Amino acid sequence: MTHPILVTVNGITYKDDVESRLLLVHYLRDRLGLTGTHIGCETSICGACTILLDGAAVKSCTLLAVQADGSKITTIEGLAATSRNALHPVQEGFWECHGLQCGYCTPGMIMMGAQILDRDPHPSEEKIRHGLEGNLCRCTGYQHIVDAIQYASKKM
Amino acid sequence: MMGTHYVGSRVKRTEDPRLIQGIGHYVDDIKLADTLEAVFVRSIYSHARIKSIDTAAAKAFPGVVAVYTGADIQDRIGSVPCASSLEGLKVPFHPPLAIGTVRYVGEPVAVVVARDKYIAADAAALVNIDCDPLDAVVDPEKAAEPGAPLVHEEFGDNIAYRWKLAGGDMDKAFKDADRIIKTRIVHQRLIPAAMEPRGVQARWLPGEKELTLWSSTQIPHLLRTQLAIMLGLSENRLRIITPEVGGGFGSKLNVYGEEAVIGWISMQLSRPVKWMESRRENFQATIQGRAQTGEIEAAVKSDGTILGLHYRIVADLGAYHQLLTPAIPTLTGLMLGGAYRFKNCLMDVTAVFTNKVATDAYRGAGRPEATFTVERIVDIVAHELKMDPVELRRKNFPKPSEFPFVSATGLTYDSGNYEPALDRALEMVNYAGLREEQARRRKDPSAKLLGIGLSSYVEICAMGPSPAMPAGGWESATVRVEPTGKVTVLSGASPHGQGQETSFAQIAADELGVDLNDVLVVHGDTTIVQYGIGTFGSRATAVGGSAVYYAIQNLKAKAGKIAAHMMGIDPAQVRFERGTFANAGDSQKTLTIQQVAAESYNAKNIPADSEPGLAATYFFEPKNFTFPFGTHVCVVEIDRETGEYDVTKYVAVDDCGRVINPLLVDGQIHGGIVQGLGQAMLEEAIYDENGQLITGEFMDYAMPRAHNFPRFELDRTETPTDVNPLGVKGVGEAGTIGSTPALVNAVVDALAHFGVRHVDMPLRPEKIWKLIPRDQ
């Protein structure tokens, strides 16, 4: 059984029919070809699939595509479009501060970083670390990720 | 000599722009038309006899293209390979899909191939596996006992091998000792948990007879060779591509049955087939790490001189051997000498089969076990002799004049100077001040307990000289200057986050005097890149980078000859500096490397004995391993009421030789520390008595998170090595090897006045709370 949905993803509006059980992350990756949103656990623990849904950072692996009906979604591919430069300041921070190694958790980390700064443009280090609670990274030890978000905080 | 423009600088990574924008390609991001998706059906029993497998309902499910079981691939796909060879090693046949018996939870039994992954998952649930459960062997120490249920009946017991390594005379060390101090040590099983699970995509082209296999692996070429053997396919018709790899940590330094099965299915159906591992599968069926239980005995003099160590372990190998499974405990044995000068040792390994997934190389691979054991017993000895753990370490370090130093186990440590790293770490934490503060707090029942933990590690890296490695230990590089002057580096290493696209470009750009952006580093495609070994064992820069360096030297020699010919001078007169060939006798005559490259392809004016083109390939064989070292100091504060603790300070002073890119080295150290502290504080793969994995998801397996740690403070010493021309030693595993004992030593130190001498990892607050007397 399929349902019609209307979603705006990175500024483009899509009208689609989706199966009831189709996960939002699969909709984004397989139907829209936005493969920057990664799948790391399917249980909303790791945060690799973090996107912005109507401005709120959510885990797209445990949302159904039908639940996104009527919403505005930003994925890593569309994040920079909301700022003047080619890269969003958080993306720039990740590059400047070596905030990534294998890069798999990175899109989710960047989306979460953007959310942290959206809520508090000048967060303390502790607040950044707590804000990243729902995002796992196995490579960096987190310190350069914190640096990257602090870099963006200064930049924004 | 090398220039210094890029090497040594904090150069931003060239691989980052695509990754931070989400436009890189991991296996799952590669979309081929008409791709089928596969889901494996796995054993829910740790040990059972398969009576029957009914696939009829799955096959009939709309959208399903095929279902295969062990019977379909028997005699068509060979055994999953094990590259280790040890005397007396029992090597069971390891079918990619179980045949007759299942031996661990998560073992693949069948595979469903369908139009998409949802349909494949639906149909997988319809495969009916009828099993008779058998008694499981879960506890490795019980597995070694007579009468234990047998994982492999044909072997008569569960002992995969016994191995001894002796150095000096341990019996005499015990006789000469004033004290023999011992403790039991458990290195719990860990789950590597790379953020990207495994994934394979295969495309067989029946016309070209070519199988292309995209796999998330650390070893594309070794995988190609092994899969060609498993599939009976000519190796030159198999192409392995490793696109972006989302972390490995050793878990992708392997050849997995699923890789062969997916390739084989694509050949049966002549269609692309994809399989992406779920996180649950990743926890159940990807190799795990550590899993050693042992007893360490130290023979010591009253003055703190360590005479020798005897370490006996039972190593839990799991049900089958993966690529390097049996080799890991032997690495522990090799590093039993630690950072100390004692000459007597005995390592005694009993490696057993259990009904669990295989253990294999996990970041550090046997060396964290050695370092943890040695650094723990050193602290216990210091405590029992009432010596400061710093002084005990200092007393037993080899002196700089003793290098190259032959360790108790017979390894030759290339270079070392251990005291400066220790001194610097102590200075950074203000060790004396901390000890005073600790004494003050012990007297104040309202104060948090303070603990200071040291770890002076030495590791074995840059793996390694071929005679000492299961496969070759060399690495390869091809460097080409293209007709337009752009530089292409093809590396046989297979970086997956370590950043060699940048660090190798730094080396090439400096050596050739070109802009960093003109260098492209290519890796991970067996059709494009010459045979290579891969990335593991902190080897890519030390061995692979050296191959790049030597390839460039050969390339420059050739370019110099062409330049001399073009300038009409004797080749001996040519000087090369910062990208320009000059005539030593005439500063007016110069040619850029780009001009020489263009002419080398144009080939109108090159020496008669020069081949056209400008490229060189080098296979670098290291003469020895490298032995990086350092001291880490961890400071913890423990809440007396709850047993909860915070790491309040963490200092790491590492010596990894010459540093190509300090930014990347810092990143490796940070990540390594967190992985080691993850083991010390949080992580444990727990199986119940039936062999069910209790910690089967991130929900149950405690991964380290950003808020678990303070800001790490790093510094470095730099002791040169002559093992390779770059002077680099490797840094990928240092943090993981150094950090685990530092934390445990800190917690035990905080509790020492309560009589605590050892606590098994992971140090959960509950364990610590139980050790704090309630009446204090």
Mean pLDDT by 10 residues, chain B (776 residues): 77 97 97 97 98 98 98 97 95 98 98 98 98 98 96 98 98 98 98 98 98 98 98 98 98 98 98 98 98 98 98 98 98 98 98 98 97 98 98 98 97 98 98 98 95 98 92 96 98 96 98 97 98 95 97 98 96 94 87 97 96 98 97 98 97 98 98 98 98 97 97 97 96 97 98 97 97 84
Residue in B22, B28, B673 closest to A107 by CB: B22
Structure tokens at B500: 């060699």
Is the peptide bond preceding residue B534 cis, with omega within 30 degrees of 0?
Answer: no
Beta-carbon separation of B29 and A77 below 8 A: no
Cα–Cα distance list, B447 to A79, B59, B436, B442, B641 (Å): 47, 67, 14, 8, 11
Residue B470: predicted pLDDT: 87
Question: Starting at the edge strand that comes first in sequence, how are the strands of the sheet with B344-353 ordered?
Answer: B159-167, B344-353, B306-318, B289-300, B179-190
Contacts of residue B15 in chain A, CB cutoff 8 Å? 103
Q: Which residues of A touch B711 (CB under 8 A)?
A: 125, 143, 146
State the smallest CA–CA distance between residue A79 and chain B in angstroms. 8
**Phi/psi at B313 (5° precision):** -135, 155
B15 has a chain A CB within 8 A of its CB: yes
Nearest CA to B635 among B419, B435, B460?
Answer: B435
For residue B502, the chain A residues in CB contact (below 8 A) are none
Give the Cα separation of B360 and B531 in Å (integer). 24
Helix, strand, or coil (residue B114): strand
How many Å apart are CA B372 and CA B113, to the nearest integer?
45
Q: Which residue of A has its CA nearest to B498?
A: A101
A vs B, Cβ pairs < 8 A, gives: 175
Chain B positions touching A87 (Cβ under 8 A) are 20-21
Q: Is the dihedral of CA B740, B742, B743, B748 positive or negative?
A: positive
Tokens of B76: 């068509």
Within 8 A by CB and 6+ apart from B117, the residues are B37, B39, B276
Q: How far apart are CA B311 and CA B187, in angstroms?
A: 13
CB–CB of A105 and B195 under 8 A? yes
Alpha helices in B255-323 (DSSP H): 257-269, 279-285
Q: Do B697 and A41 touch (CB under 8 A)?
A: yes
Burial of residue B623 (CB within 10 Å: 0-12, 13-18, 19+) is exposed
Residue of A37, A80, A129 lying closest to B706 (CB–CB): A129
Q: How many CB atoms lie within 10 A of CB B337?
A: 27
> Using CA atoms, how far apart are residues B271 and B266, in angstroms rounded to an integer?
5
Q: Which residue of B has its CA nearest to A22?
A: B118
CB B306 within 8 A of CB B178: no
Where residue A82 falls among pLDDT bands split at 50, 70, 90?
low
Is pTM beyond 0.95 here? yes
Is B694 in a helix, a strand, or coil? coil
Phi, psi of B296 (to 5 degrees): -110, 135
Residue pair A100/A139 in contact (Cβ under 8 Å)? The answer is: yes
Nearest to A141 among B15, B670, B707 (CB): B670
Name the strands in the sheet holding B36-42, side by side, starting at the edge strand that comes first in the sequence. Answer: B64-69, B108-114, B36-42, B273-276, B199-205, B210-215, B238-241
- Report the number of secondary-structure helices (H) and strands (E) in chain A: 6, 5
Contacts of A34 in chain B (CB under 8 A): 22
Cα B304 to Cα A150: distance, rounded to the nearest angstrom: 47
Q: Which residues of A touch B276 (CB under 8 A)?
A: 39
CA distance B572 to B564: 8
Angle between helices B257-269 and B220-231 (to 10 degrees): 60
Chain A positions in Cβ-Cβ contact with residue B712 (cut-off 8 Å): 141, 143
pLDDT for position A133: 96
Q: Which pLDDT score is estimated for B776? A: 59
Angle at CA of residue B327, ends B194 and A104, nearest 5° = 10
Contact A98 B13 (CB under 8 A): yes
Chain A 53-72, residues with CB within 8 Å of chain B CB atoms: none
Q: How far is B669 from chain A (nearest CA, A)?
A: 8
